[in-house]
Amino acid sequence: MTTRILFVEPPKDYWFLMGEYLPPPTGLLALAAYVEQQLKDVEIAVLDCQAEAKDWKDVEKHIASYSPHLVATSGFSCNAYRCAKVAETAKNIDPDIVTVVGGQHFSSTDIESLSSFPEIDFIVRGEGERTLVELIETLRQTGDLGKVNGVSFRNDGNVVRNPPRDLIHDLDTLPFPAYHLVERNLSKYHFTMMAGKKRYLILEGSRGCWHRCSFCTQWRHWNGTWRTKSPKRIAMEMTHLRDDLGAGFIWLTDDNFEYGKRSEDLAQELEAQGFDDSIPWFFQSRTDSIAKNPDKVAKLRKVGNIWQLIGVENGSPQALQDFKKGASVNDAMEAVRILKENDIFAQAMMVIGSRKDDHASIKALREFALELDPHMAIFSILTPFPGTEVYQEARMNGWIEDDNFGHYDMVHAIMATEALSRAEVQEELLACYKEFFGTPVKALRGVFSSNEIKKRCFRHLAGKRVLGTLRQLI
């Protein structure tokens, strides 16, 4: 008997700060590819509601038409309710459809989520590939679900949390994400602010991070480890996206791009494959890593790395220490200087709303951002994502004032600070954007910049839509 499996990227709104964009559902495509590789007698489909402009009625019709045995979905905290709605929709059509959710949010809230959402049958915790395959095999053979490591489920009304699964040792053994399952949508994937009109595709070069930032979900989700695909494999995958799938801009979605010999080898591999500015690519990195490796930054620039997102977070040494960042203010200054020297677009992430923040400290951060002068700054509000140290401390002390996970998007104030109400934190966020992007001089310089990326970014971030949306949140 053939098992029909449907992966669903649910209808949702994307982060308005980053403008008009539509990314491929790479996480689901990675899972689909692994299931396809490992299991026989399976039929797999992917429903990308964003690319195909499907609403909830369309999801219902698609599930009814495809008649899957299993429906799987995944999402971040801000989309958790939409994932649950996918499961609910499936169950309303056929209660026998097995519903599976995964990702960082559900991995950290599995007991709570299974108690709150009876429509969810299984939660795959942590790394999903091997767990999902074993779960499907066990269900097909009516085997012992208690032996499937990495799964949480209900049994006789009680939530069962099986032991965690060991991580995959060699990421090179994973197949390329199953882009062939969304071939009809390839021309729709884009990121206007980042890539203009070019086709925008994504690949994963590594998983995890060995740093311990208090606000970050990544290192806990991947057990505090960092694993990488080989430089040769990464280059092969980037070449596949370029030559076979027509990518015009590539996002290397490493949680943390590690410089070192890996970056030198990757530069050599990409050079051998003819990469240059004609196929630009982007990744996120740490300020201290850039500061220590200016020569490697330059080598990657020669093979098309034109944009880096850097976690600056704050201009206060104490704030960086509280975040357990492990990087300094001077690292941030040096990193921006090195990126600019190499003609790499520097996007700096800043965080407000930590427990000790007040009007003066956030004003100091705005002034630091202007002094640092990255090409673009994205200001966010400290959000207690489940699975982070910030969440644990905030929950224990009763600081969380908004339990609606739909608001956990880094632009809604979830907590007050010792000195500021949530409304005041929200007002400070608007002030950050107005000062960095909205003053007449800054806006004109950005909009008429000779740097095309900066021009696109300022046209969006200094525009009425972003500032207007931020005002509505107050």
Please write the tens of the pLDDT for every residue from 187-234: 999 998 888 889 999 999 999 998 999 999 988 889 889 999 999 999
Q: Are 330 and 337 in contact (CB under 8 A)?
A: no
No. of H helices and E strands in the chain? 20, 17
CA–CA–CA angle 283, 284, 287 (5° rounding)? 135
Bridge partners of residue 327, in order along the sequence: none
The CATH architecture that domain 3-161 belongs to is 3-Layer(aba) Sandwich (3.40)
The 3-state DSSP class for residue 129 equals helix
Q: Are 310 and 335 in contact (CB under 8 A)?
A: yes
For 189-472, which CATH superfamily applies? Aldolase class I (3.20.20.70)
Q: Are 181 and 35 in contact (CB under 8 A)?
A: no
* Whether the predicted pLDDT of 311 surpasses 80: yes
CB-based burial, 189-228: b 16+ in 10 Å, e otherwise: bbbbbbbeebbbbbbbbbbbbebebbbbbbbbbbeeebeb
- What gap in Å lies between CA 446 and CA 455, rounded to an integer? 5
Please write the tens of the pLDDT for every residue from 246-287: 999 999 999 889 898 999 999 999 999 999 999 999 999 999
pLDDT at 159: 97
- What gap in Å lies between CA 229 and CA 225, rounded to an integer? 14
pLDDT at 124: 98
pLDDT at 370: 96
**Given phi > 0 = left and psi -120 to 50 = alpha, else beta, which region is 344?**
beta
Which tokens sit at 134?
């074993």
The 3-state DSSP class for residue 312 equals strand
| Size of the chain in residues | 474
Amino acid letter at 316? S
Please write the tens of the pLDDT for every residue from 14-46: 788 888 889 999 999 999 999 999 999 999 999
The string of DSSP codes covering 4-63 is: EEEEEE------GGG-SEE---HHHHHHHHHHHHH-SSEEEEEEETTTTT--HHHHHHHH
Element spanning 310, H or E: strand 305-313
Nearest one of 151, 33, 52, 75 to 406, comparing CA atoms = 75
Mean pLDDT throughout 84-99? 98
- What gap in Å lies between CA 106 and CA 123, rounded to an integer? 7
Q: Where do the structural domains in the chain lie, given as residue ranges?
A: 3-161, 189-472
Kindly report whether the global pTM for this prediction surpasses the value 0.85. Answer: yes
